[in-house]
Chain A
Amino acid sequence: MQDRAWVATRKGLFELRRRGASWAIARSSFLGEPVSMLLPPQDGSARLFAALNLGHFGVKLHGSDDAGETWQELAVPTYPPQPEGDPVGGVAWKLVQIWSMAAAGGVLWAGTLPGGLFRSADGGGSWQLVESLWNQPGRARWFGGGYDVPGIHSICVHPQRSDELLVGISCGGAWVSRDGGASWSLSAHGMRAAYMPPDQSGDPNIQDPHLIARCRAAPDVLWCQHHNGIFRSTDNATSWHEITSAPDTSFGFAVAAHPNDPQTAWFAPAIADERRIPVNGALAVHRTRDGGRSFESLRAGLPQHDCYDLVYRHGLAVADDGCTLLMGSTTGNLWASADAGESWSQVAANLPPIAALRFG
């Protein structure tokens, strides 16, 4: 049972501990500083990572080998010197934010705005830009979604093959490497972009997957909360098909994939697209248990009137048991469920805006 989780917020990193049936804040780190992403200890390492996005002084990465009691500043991914002339896509070679992190096979991965993937083979001591992806000709047509520049928000490493990974890019589709990042193929076929001219809506290179999550026990199954819908792949991202059975709205940012059941996933819906608030001011979690053929709208314990919480793409997480969930909002509310989302209880109501949360 996972009894610990981490919450990255606009004003610090918070450690959560489960005692009995309830979760509580046990420790805070970096109070006052924006934490954009975290990576709990995994892949055989005890190191916890926190990515900061200091308003004036840039992006920083810190590591802790004692579960957040003490921290040390680590190297930060740095873009190489930008070639002379106009940069590809008009995107400067400057780190804007660490938006995703993953670890597998002794390699640490960091996905960033403005669209670069970095790898570290020494636990964050040094980083290298994955140039094979950065130099893809298709990058010239990527564009920002939610930010002014493109960004990698999803890194899904294959649970049995650590040299195989999929990254999701807003807005640059999904890309897969099966050789540890040496080469890449565009893997967003079947996604649909309603925000593009009709003749370009099927272009896989400009899709806006808000988040992509993989089923750990059935890694060929991937779920995608996309800008204009929900998509699912059952063939390891070779193809995607749209799921249109979600009630009320299929807009949102977050998706959590059940670790063991490839038919089950959770979503945090919101009104598309300009308003980005819960439908009718009532917060819900949408759950499918049949691969997307049908959804349940789960509301018990969640506010059902005058609620304007938005759940960011990394703000919904499921634990290894497949029934413990956490959900955090831009309003600083944090809820927990112990029964796969059937009911929720409030953990905190006054946190800073929540960017990401993860068990571990």
Chain B
Amino acid sequence: MARIVFTQQLRRFTEVPQVDAPAATLRAALEAAFALNPRLRGYVLDDQAHLRANVVAFIDGRRCHDRVRLDDPLRPDSEVHVMQALSGG
């Protein structure tokens, strides 16, 4: 099960579940989290379901490659961290 962890900065605004999901891609992992808290979607993704410009996702310590399709593959034991990028501060 891949694990997805959201920055605690988001807790000011909405619930941020830590999710273990059988997700094969970054988007599938995000969708598993959004299923638990639908409001979280708008904080992480924009109108076009792209990763927000000032949000960054790390997969096993590596920044994700694609911010539009979000199709970076996950391993069964991958750990995804969704963070706020310092660029937006």
Q: Mark B23-57, 1 if CB is under 8 A from A, else 0.
A: 00000000000000001001110111010101100
Partner of A56, one of B39, B42, B54: B54
Chain B interface residue count, Cβ-Cβ cutoff 8 angstroms: 19
- For residue B88, CB closer than 8 A to chain A, the reply is yes
In whole Å, how far is A83's beta carbon from the nearest beta carbon of chain B? Answer: 11
- For residue A94, CB closer than 8 A to chain B, the reply is yes
Q: For the complex, give the distance between the alpha carbons of A92 and B47 in Å.
A: 10
In whole Å, how far is A354's beta carbon from the nearest beta carbon of chain B? Answer: 21
Stretch from A73-81, A147-155, A213-221, A268-276 at the B interface: A73-81
Q: Which chain A positions have C-beta within 8 A of B39? A: 73
Closest residue of B by beta carbon distance from A80: B47
Chain A interface residue count, Cβ-Cβ cutoff 8 angstroms: 16
Partner of A78, one of B47, B50, B52: B47
Q: For the complex, give the distance between the alpha carbons of A95 and B52 in Å.
A: 11
Q: Which chain A positions have C-beta within 8 A of B50? A: 94
Q: Which chain A positions have C-beta within 8 A of B43? A: 54, 57-58
In whole Å, how far is B4's beta carbon from the nearest beta carbon of chain A? Answer: 16
Asked if B48 and A56 sit within 8 Å, CB to CB, the answer is: no
Partner of A94, one of B44, B48, B54: B48
Asked if B52 and A93 sit within 8 Å, CB to CB, the answer is: no
Q: For the complex, give the distance between the alpha carbons of A57 and B7 in Å.
A: 11
User: A54-B13, A55-B89 in contact; A76/B42 too (CB < 8 A)?
Assistant: yes
Q: Which chain A positions have C-beta within 8 A of B14? A: 73
Within 8 A of A (CB), among B71-89: 84-85, 88-89
Asked if B13 and A56 sit within 8 Å, CB to CB, the answer is: no
- For residue A60, CB closer than 8 A to chain B, the reply is yes
- For residue B10, CB closer than 8 A to chain A, the reply is yes
Asked if B84 and A94 sit within 8 Å, CB to CB, the answer is: no
Asked if B47 and A57 sit within 8 Å, CB to CB, the answer is: no
Q: For the complex, give the distance between the alpha carbons of A56 and B84 in Å.
A: 6
Q: Which chain B positions have C-beta within 8 A of A82? A: 47-48
Asked if A57 and B84 sit within 8 Å, CB to CB, the answer is: yes
Asked if B13 and A94 sit within 8 Å, CB to CB, the answer is: no
Interface-centre pick from A54, A92, A95 (highest chain B CB count, 10 A): A54
Asked if A56 and B47 sit within 8 Å, CB to CB, the answer is: no
Q: Mark A42-64, 1 if CB is under 8 A from B, else 0.
A: 00000000000011111010000
In whole Å, how far is A6's beta carbon from the nearest beta carbon of chain B? Answer: 21
In whole Å, how far is A77's beta carbon from the nearest beta carbon of chain B? Answer: 9
Asked if A94 and B47 sit within 8 Å, CB to CB, the answer is: yes
Asked if B89 and A58 sit within 8 Å, CB to CB, the answer is: no
In whole Å, how far is A125's beta carbon from the nearest beta carbon of chain B? Answer: 14
Asked if B55 and A95 sit within 8 Å, CB to CB, the answer is: no
Q: For the complex, give the distance between the alpha carbons of A266 and B88 in Å.
A: 36
Asked if A57 and B13 sit within 8 Å, CB to CB, the answer is: yes
Asked if A94 and B46 sit within 8 Å, CB to CB, the answer is: yes
Partner of B54, one of A55, A60, A76: A55
Q: For the complex, give the distance between the alpha carbons of A76 and B41 in Å.
A: 12
Q: For the complex, give the distance between the alpha carbons of A295 and B7 in Å.
A: 54
Q: For the complex, give the distance between the alpha carbons of A63 and B78 in Å.
A: 39
In whole Å, how far is B83's beta carbon from the nearest beta carbon of chain A? Answer: 9
Asked if B46 and A56 sit within 8 Å, CB to CB, the answer is: no
Q: For the complex, give the distance between the alpha carbons of A330 and B13 in Å.
A: 26
Q: Which chain B positions have C-beta within 8 A of A76? A: 42
In whole Å, how far is B6's beta carbon from the nearest beta carbon of chain A? Answer: 11
Asked if B48 and A57 sit within 8 Å, CB to CB, the answer is: no
In whole Å, how far is B20's beta carbon from the nearest beta carbon of chain A? Answer: 24
Q: A residues bordering B, Cβ < 8 Å? A: 54-58, 60, 73, 76, 78-79, 81-82, 92-95
Pairs across A and B, CB under 8 Å, 17 listed: A54-B43, A56-B54, A56-B84, A56-B85, A56-B88, A57-B42, A57-B43, A57-B44, A57-B84, A60-B13, A73-B14, A73-B39, A76-B42, A92-B48, A93-B48, A94-B48, A94-B50
Taking A56-B52, A57-B84 as known contacts, 8 extra A-B pairs with beta carbons closer than 8 A to each other, sorted by chain A number, are A55-B54, A56-B9, A56-B54, A58-B43, A73-B13, A93-B47, A93-B48, A94-B47
Q: Which 9 A-B pairs have the closest CB atoms?
A: A56-B84, A57-B43, A79-B47, A56-B54, A56-B88, A55-B88, A94-B47, A94-B46, A78-B47
